Amino acid sequence: MKNHKTIVLSNQEISPGYYRMRILAPDYNKLARPGQFVMFRVQRSLPPLLRRPFGIFRVGFMPADCDTMPPKEFIEIIYKVVGSGTEIMQGLHYGDPVELLGPLGQGFEFGEADEEKILVGGGIGLVPLYMLAEKMIDHSKVRLLMGGRTRDDIITVTEFERLGVETYVSTEDGSLGEAGLVTQVLEKKLQENNQVSVYACGPMPMIEAVEKICSAHRTPLQVSLEALMACGVGACLGCVVKGAGHTQEQPSYLCTCKVGPVFHARQLAWGSDDDAAASDCGVCR
């Protein structure tokens, strides 16, 4: 947990509207756990005022510029251009000064070794699952069910495959993989075998559907949520979601930035008709 004033190493469009940015990030290889995020900011740029939260896609080392130097540590984030902040990010180049606050939040718990793991990713929700797969692949069979609206939303699947993850792709419009929702595939898999752990990240409707399926099959589920964030460190209380047992009379709010962004499904309130989790905040894409 530190604020790094650092620089962009590279920034490339990997699919229409999706960018992959590599950022110099000392210590992240040691510190960052799968599922954690950073609060990102372009140095000296106003607007936007607030930092933007992004999941850590992966951490790594790259050769230093000269032999006598240690290799450079970096993180990669993958972002979709959706508004003012990501539009500015799109234009960044090697050397541009940025700031990273992080790594923040709680990451995923890895579950039992040997037990099969199913990762469910929707669109940009795939991002935090990669590092998770990296850590689990040596001990467990890992499957990825990856969904998106069109084939443009299916990103970095090859990277997962290269790790040895078995991947299923479906798109709503059938432009890549099977036509349909990723949750249909999950349902089928759990019918075959519910002795697995599920990890999901994606748009809220997808996460809710995944939760329904998993709770029906009594399969443990961890989800990574998005919420509007100002501080990222638990100070503003802007990012809360409803905890399990939340009622009007006995409200229970958990900070997504601190208690999350990864929650065990059982920690959260599901299916309440008003503002279940962050589902009505209009920010979950």
Partner 1 sequence: MIKRRKKIIRPRLSVNIAGMELRNPVMPASGTFGYGEEYAPYLDLNSLGAIVTKGLSLHPKAGNRTPRICETVSGMLNAIGLQNVGVDVFIKHKMPFLEQFDTPVIVNFFGNTQDEYAAVAERLDAISGVRALEMNISCPNVKHGGIVFGTDPKAISSVVRQVRKKTSKPLIVKLTPNVTDIQVTAKAAEDAGADALSLINTLTGMSVDVKTRRPRLANTIGGLSGPAIRPIAVRLVHQVVQAVSIPVIGIGGITRAMDALEFLIVGAKAVQVGTANFVDPHAMATILNELEDFCLAEGIDDINDLIGSLEV
Ligand X SMILES: Cc1cc2nc3c(=O)[nH]c(=O)nc-3n(C[C@H](O)[C@H](O)[C@H](O)COP(=O)(O)OP(=O)(O)OC[C@H]3O[C@@H](n4cnc5c(N)ncnc54)[C@H](O)[C@@H]3O)c2cc1C
Which residue's CB is nearer to ligand X, number 4 or number 80?
A: 80
* Residue 124 interface partner, choices ligand FES, ligand X, partner 1, none, CB cut-off 5-8 Å depending on type: ligand X
* Residue 120 interface partner, choices partner 1, ligand FES, ligand X, none, CB cut-off 5-8 Å depending on type: none
User: Dihedral of CA 80/82/85/87: which sign?
Assistant: positive
Which residue's CB is nearer to partner 1, number 80 or number 246?
A: 246
Assigned token pair, 193 = 């075998």
Alpha-helix runs per DSSP H in 41-95? 84-90
Minimal distance, residue 35 CB to ligand FES, in Å: 15
Q: Please tell me whether residue 111 binds ligand X under the rule CB under 6 A.
A: no
For ligand X, the binding residue among 4, 22, 33, 52 (CB under 6 A) is 52
Q: Please tell me whether residue 226 binds ligand X under the rule CB under 6 A.
A: yes
Q: How far apart are CA 17 and CA 194, in angstroms?
A: 36
Applying CB under 6 A, what is the total number of residues that bind ligand FES? 13
CA distances from 59 to 51, 119, 176, 183, 257 (A): 21, 19, 28, 29, 20
For ligand X, the binding residue among 6, 10, 45, 86 (CB under 6 A) is 86
Concatenated DSSP letters of 195-248: -EEEEEES-HHHHHHHHHHHHHHT--EEEE-----SSSSSSS--SEEEBTT--S
Q: How far apart are CA 38 and CA 53, in angstroms?
A: 6
Contact string 27-46 vs ligand X (x = CB under 6 A): ----------x---------
Which residues in 222-241 contact ligand FES (CB under 6 A)? 229-232, 234-239
Cβ atoms of 233 and 51 closer than 8 Å: no
Assigned token pair, 209 = 């559907």
Minimal distance, residue 39 CB to ligand FES, in Å: 8
* Residue 47 interface partner, choices ligand X, ligand FES, partner 1, none, CB cut-off 5-8 Å depending on type: partner 1
Helix axes 204-217, 182-192, angle to 10 degrees: 10
First to last CA, the chain: 27
Q: Please tell me whether residue 79 binds ligand X under the rule CB under 6 A.
A: yes
* Residue 147 interface partner, choices ligand X, partner 1, ligand FES, none, CB cut-off 5-8 Å depending on type: none
Q: Please tell me whether residue 278 binds ligand FES under the rule CB under 6 A.
A: no
For ligand X, the binding residue among 8, 33, 85, 199 (CB under 6 A) is 85
Q: Are strands 18-24 and 37-42 parallel, antiparallel or unpaired?
A: unpaired
Q: How far apart are CA 125 and CA 79, in angstroms?
A: 10
Q: Please give the residue ranges that form the binding site for ligand X (CB under 6 A).
A: 37, 48, 50, 52-55, 77-80, 82-86, 124, 127, 226-229, 261, 283-285
Q: Please give the residue ranges that form the binding site for ligand FES (CB under 6 A).
A: 229-232, 234-239, 255-257
